[in-house]
A = this chain, B = another copy of it.
Amino acid sequence: MLFEKIKTPGLSHLSYLFGSNGQAAVVDPRRDCAIYIEKARAAGLKITHIFETHRNEDLVSGAPILAQLTGASVYHGPNPEREIVYAQTAREGDCFKIGQLEIQVLETPGHTFDHLAYVMFDSAYPTNAVGVFTGDALFVGDVGRTDFYPDKREEVAGLLYDSLQKIIALGDQAMIYPAHGAGSVCGSGMAEREFSSVGHEKLNNPRLQIESRDKFIRAKINENHYQPPYFKLMERINMEGGDAAPRIMRPLNLSLEQLNNCDVDHLIDIREPLAYASVHLPGSMSLPVGMISAFAGWFIAEGESIALVAADEEQLATAMTHLVRIALDNIVGGYVGLISAAKQGESIEQTPMIATEEVKSRLAGNTDFTDNATNAKNSRTWTLLDVRDLDERSESAIEESEHIYVGHLNERWRDLDRDHHYTLMCASGQRATVAAGWLASQGFQHLDIYLGGMSAWQAEQE
């Protein structure tokens, strides 16, 4: 028997391949889906079923692609909005045999209307479910978000409540296999741990401790979630069926001259935040390779062209993988080596990191600091701009700081003043660098980054 969780870092997406007796199934495959076929065939199994828990909004589904490569059937929940072109509709109680395993369908709307959970039985030990693929209904430590239908927020929160009762009714013994782990944009409270059981969640998951349907609904509609613009693109693609990933998952290598002449929509520096802060190319924004999945979809729109600046070729390959998984395929190429650019006399820019002491001094009214753009004494008005999310901010904030969520700077940079000096902050300095990089790419020059951010601020207090 094969049972394997395939994890997609960045997206914190979890898909599953399982099978026995020559047959296999995949739950929620990702776009670069050859891996499922390779693993199944290496284990002597033929993929015959592909199960989607719901229409994903945060990544391109590999279901239609995998179906084409294998001939397997795709199953998807009943969708009231629009047909999923490539899938058959599965409904409550439908049952599928995968070797000695059995999958039963549970309709679990809430996160989306078409959401299904797939309950797994072992026909050799059939009393009660072994596990359940919970998609974005139930996570370890959290439940799915219910903010996708703004005018039906109460309805869907209530539906999710009901769906969770169905999952709980499977029994404490059932293990849960969710579609996401900690760090996903599909929920903020997920546990670091990726394995759990219905029983353990029933006892510990904060959302399952709420005593009534009403209170649950109220809690859900008071949640703050962000919807990056690329969610709309994913939704459309995942109804129509996306294209296969490119055959070569490494970008073309660009020379400095080619980079300078490529005239792309976005020049993205994927090196680590500290390296970007130290030196970067004028006009480049910052998306460290590990943050691409979470933030590229805020700043880059469908079809826009991209060139990458990296520390080495492996970073380029990883970045391309992340971008391709969210359909940002228009990657013109990648350039390696800021130092090499500097050697050729290319002009470079810096965005200094500053520490708690300096932030305090400025908050105390000290305006006598050096401006990074002019290398002269600063003479501008200054703002400490907090780019964390609302939940973090409501927990604790520096009083004098202003707030715009990092993703919202995609539009709200227009509300800011290029003649002003901004210090960006988040919980550590990473999202602050993304924010600073985005502003720099929009022509802002008077910027620095609070290294350590809210964490350092609090450490200082202790």
Which of A75-83, A186-194, A381-389 is the interface stretch? A186-194
Candidates B3, B272, B342, B355; contact of A348 at CB < 8 Å? B355
Candidates B40, B255, B452; contact of A342 at CB < 8 Å? B452
Q: Which residue of chain B has its CB nearest to the CB of A462?
A: B345
Query: Which of A37, A247, A345 has the largest number of chain B CB atoms within 10 A?
Result: A345
A278 CB-CB contact with B under 8 Å: yes
Cβ contact within 8 Å between B343 and A192: no
A109 CB-CB contact with B under 8 Å: no
Cβ contact within 8 Å between A342 and B253: no
B-contact bits for A347-370, CB 8 A (1 contact / 0 none): 110101101101000000000011
B-contact bits for A166-180, CB 8 A (1 contact / 0 none): 000001111100000
A210 CB-CB contact with B under 8 Å: no
Query: Which of A141, A274, A358 has the largest number of chain B CB atoms within 10 A?
Result: A274
Q: Which residue of chain B has its CB nearest to the CB of A40?
A: B253
Q: Which residues 102-135 in A have Cβ within 8 Å of B in the complex?
A: 122, 124-131
Cβ contact within 8 Å between B173 and A202: yes
A428 CB-CB contact with B under 8 Å: yes
A95 CB-CB contact with B under 8 Å: no
Cβ contact within 8 Å between A343 and B428: yes
Cβ contact within 8 Å between B278 and A125: no
Q: Which residues 128-173 in A have Cβ within 8 Å of B in the complex?
A: 128-131, 141, 171-173
B-contact bits for A450-462, CB 8 A (1 contact / 0 none): 0111011001101
A239 CB-CB contact with B under 8 Å: no
Which of A260-268, A310-318, A397-405 is the interface stretch? A310-318
Which of A41-49, A216-224, A437-445 is the interface stretch? A41-49
Q: Which residue of chain B has its CB nearest to the CB of A177?
A: B195
B-contact bits for A235-249, CB 8 A (1 contact / 0 none): 000000000100110
Complex CA–CA separation, A22 to B173 (angstroms):
31
Candidates B122, B174, B375; contact of A193 at CB < 8 Å? B122
Chain A interface residue count, CB cutoff 8 Å, equals 98
Cβ contact within 8 Å between B191 and A125: yes
A250 CB-CB contact with B under 8 Å: yes
Query: Which of A34, A41, A316, A348 has the largest number of chain B CB atoms within 10 A?
Result: A41
Residues A453 and B311 in contact in the complex (CB < 8 Å), given A199-B128, A248-B37: no
Cβ contact within 8 Å between B253 and A41: yes
Cβ contact within 8 Å between B203 and A128: yes
Q: Which residue of chain B has its CB nearest to the CB of A193?
A: B1
Complex CA–CA separation, A65 to B202 (angstroms):
41
Tell me, rounded to whole Å, the shortest Cβ–Cβ distance linking A437 to chain B.
Answer: 14
Complex CA–CA separation, A173 to B131 (angstroms):
11
Residues A43 and B313 in contact in the complex (CB < 8 Å), given A3-B194, A274-B339: yes
Complex CA–CA separation, A278 to B311 (angstroms):
15
Cβ contact within 8 Å between A456 and B343: yes
A198 CB-CB contact with B under 8 Å: yes
Complex CA–CA separation, A271 to B277 (angstroms):
14
Q: Which residues 255-309 in A have Cβ within 8 Å of B in the complex?
A: 255, 271-275, 277-279
| Residues on the B chain within 8 Å of A339, using CB | 273-274, 428-430, 451-452
Cβ contact within 8 Å between B194 and A174: no
A196 CB-CB contact with B under 8 Å: yes
Cβ contact within 8 Å between B172 and A195: no
Cβ contact within 8 Å between A345 and B173: no
| 7 interchain residue pairs of minimum CB distance | A173-B199, A345-B459, A342-B452, A343-B455, A172-B172, A278-B278, A125-B204
List residues of A whose CB falls within 8 A of some B CB: 1, 3, 20, 22, 34, 37-38, 40-46, 69, 100, 122, 124-131, 141, 171-175, 191-200, 202-205, 244, 247-248, 250-255, 271-275, 277-279, 311, 313-314, 316-317, 336, 338-340, 342-345, 347-348, 350, 352-353, 355-356, 358, 369-370, 375, 427-430, 451-453, 455-456, 459-460, 462
Additional pairs, 16, CB under 8 Å, beyond known A41-B251, A46-B254: A1-B194, A34-B247, A43-B313, A100-B192, A124-B141, A128-B199, A130-B200, A173-B173, A272-B275, A278-B278, A339-B451, A342-B355, A342-B451, A344-B452, A344-B459, A345-B452
